[in-house]
Structure 1
Amino acid sequence: MPIDYARIKSIQFEAVRHTYTRRDTMLYALGLGVGADDPTDASDLKYVYEKSLVALPMQAVTLAAVPMLLADPAFGINYKLLLHAEQTLVMHKPLPIEGTVSGEFCIDEIYDKGKEKGAIMYMTRKIFDTASGDLIATMGNVAFLRGDGGFGGKSEGAPKPRAVPADRPADRSVTMRSPLNQALVYRLSGDYNPLHSDPEIAGVAGFKKPILHGLCHYGMAGRALIKTLCGDDPSRLLKLDTRFTSPVYPGETLRVDLWNISGGDASFRVVASERNVIVQDFGRCEYRN
């Protein structure tokens, strides 16, 4: 049965209130593998030790979200065939290390690629500091609804991400190791999808073992870019966009290739080194010089 476009577009979502603590901020960083290589490195300690704690801006993707939202039968979506296709993040001010935020969610548009090609859903979430009312971050989530094409919607007009330069090699590459238990730690930040922890369910989904959360290796890429482009100052990160192109398995080595486009603007992609597979593409990072 095709999804009901008009009904989905008319749904009004209540704001989500979320209180997080310093412990949550440290746990998020640990879930990205921060401190795994050298737990005495000062550049890592500031994300996992309360003495001089700062928050990584990518943590915003875990706040004021509704877990498994699109699994609600009201949407009529074949949730088992849904894939997280793209993630965007715009930081309007630095993320506090703790506090209470309010999240506002909306479905922007759904593009129908055809019965055999699925549909693409664009969603936006904004989080506000409830104490000040300030907008902290705006996030975009693009879902590929593999089983929901052919509902009669428009097929053209979807935003097109910027490709990485094809005419020259990357200006710089940074490698990161993914700990074997990384998915088990990262899930404690709120994404309990068993695809990332249960070998049996991962097998049913066609994977040889549980895969790493896309937002986990997204956060890892962000951490590498902050260290490389922002002088390891997370408050300088302004924008981080990517497209997920292939799964990552815990334990793999990831390589971030980056291209300088202009002052404060870079393109990037992420490669699983051992398999030489691109796992993130069309990456864009904007930062304060």
Structure 2
Amino acid sequence: MPIDPRRLLARPFAPIEHAYAQRDSQIYALGLGLGSDPLDAGQLRYVYEGRDGRSLRAMPTMANVLAYPGFWAREPDTGITWQQLLHAEQEIRLHDLLPASGRVTGTNRVSGLWDRGAGKGAFLQQTRDIRDAATGRPLATVVQLSLLRGDGGFGTGGSGGAPPPAHPMPEGEPDQVCDLATPAQLALIYRLSGDLNPLHADPAVAAAAGFKRPILHGMALMGVAAHAVLRTILAYDDTRFAGMRVRFTAPAWPGDTLRTEMWTRGGTVSLRVTALERGAVVLDHARVDLR
């Protein structure tokens, strides 16, 4: 049965309240590989609370896991062929610094739906607004673009126009390059932040999906790229990190060495990430917006 675009665009989502502690922020950062150098004061800001117990910082990309609505595409009322859903892009916009602990509220909505035609799938965009639960202060907006490979051909009823175009990449050699090694257990740590998809932990599930081993979460890959920018360009000053958008182009494996190439043009850092051992470009047409 094809999806009903009007019903999907109007689908209601209950607000999600999410309380988290410093320990959650630390586990999230460890799931991106921070702390690999215990003498690096920049990395320690995100994994150690400090002698005063109040020095911990939250990684900017932690917005991806706050008040997360879960894999709602599996619900019967959506009509989505969820087995053929592919995560295509992810974007975060930061309106304020994320606290290392707190209580937030997230409201999710389907913000776009574009038909590519029968047999070609459709693009679905969802947007989540994250606010401080006590004050209502906006903290972040998270935008996710998914390719519904099995749900094209519904015709009218979707969104007008077209999905957001890819971020254009500069020509020439990058201005900076950062290589970050990832430990083999990285996906097993990252999943403790809430994404329990067995594709990232169970070798049998990965094999059934056509992979020789469990793959790294796309959100973890995004976080590693954010770490590269914080380390190389911002000297771990996350107050200058205003947003990030990435396009997923190939799976990364836990244990890959990830090379982030960076081109800085004004307040935008364009990114491309390659898994060095395999020569695979795993993130492309990506950017970080600076304050």
**Pairwise CA distance, 1:231:** 2.3
Match of 2:175 in 1: 171
1:134 aligns with 2:137: yes
Q: Displacement, 1:95? A: 0.2
Does structure 2 conserve the Cα–Cα contact (< 8 Å) formed by 1:163 and 1:281? no
Provide the rounded CA distance (Å) in 1 between the counterparts of 2:228 and 2:135.
31
**Take 1:227 and 1:138, find their aligned partners in 2: how far apart are those partners?**
24
Which amino acid is the alignment partner of residue 65 of structure 2? T
1:242 partner SS: strand
Matched residue pairs, number? 285
Question: 1:56 corresponds to which residue?
Answer: 59
Matched letter for residue 200 of structure 2: H
How do 1:205-284 and structure 2 match up within 5 A? 205-262=209-266, 264-284=267-287
Q: Which residue of 2 aligns with 1:71?
A: 74
Q: SS of the counterpart of 2:45?
A: helix
1:203 matched residue in structure 2: 207
Secondary structure of 2:7 counterpart: helix
| Deviation (angstroms), 1:4 | 1.1
Aligned partners of 1:26 and 1:49 also within 8 Å: yes
How far did 1:179 drift?
0.6
Q: How does 1:4-153 map onto structure 2 within 5 Å?
A: 4-36=4-36, 38-51=37-50, 52-153=55-156
Name the SS of the counterpart of 1:28 in structure 2. Answer: helix
Aligned to 2:164: 159
CA distance in 2, matches of 1:280, 1:163: 13
Which one-letter code corresponds to 2:174 in the other structure?
Answer: A
2:46 alignment partner, SS class: helix
Task: Give the C-alpha shift of residue 156 in structure 1.
Answer: 4.8
The Cα shift of 1:117 comes to 1.3
- Give the superposition deviation at 1:272: 0.8
User: 2-side partners of 1:67 and 1:10: how far apart?
Assistant: 18
- Please tell me the residue identity of whatever aligns with 2:166: P
Q: What are structure 2's unaligned runs of at least 5 residues? A: none
1:218-273 superposed Cα distances (whole Å, 9 cap, x missing partner): 011011111222221112100100100000011011000011112x2121111111
**Partner residue of 1:194?**
198
Q: 1: CA distance between counterparts of 2:13 and 2:222?
A: 26
Cα deviation code 1:78-136 (max 9, x no counterpart): 11111110001111100001000000111011111122211100111110001221100
| 3-state SS in 2 of match to 1:202 | helix
* Partner SS, residue 50 of structure 1: coil
**Pairwise CA RMSD of aligned residues?**
1.2
SS at match of 1:101: strand
Distance 2:146 2:183 in 1: 27
CA drift of 1:163 comes to 1.7
Question: Is the contact between residue 10 and residue 110 of structure 2 (CA under 8 Å) also seen in structure 1?
Answer: no
CA contact (8 A) 1:32 1:186 kept: yes
Percent same amino acid among aligned pairs? 44
| Unaligned 5+ runs, structure 1 | none
Is residue 84–residue 148 contact of structure 2 (8 Å, CA) maintained in 1?
yes
After alignment, is 76-85 or 188-197 more displaced? 76-85
Query: Are 2:48 and 2:56, in contact at CA under 8 Å, matched by a contact in 1?
Result: yes
User: How far is the alpha carbon of 1:50 from its aligned partner?
Assistant: 1.3
Taking the aligned partners of 1:224 and 1:197, their CA distance within structure 2 comes to 25
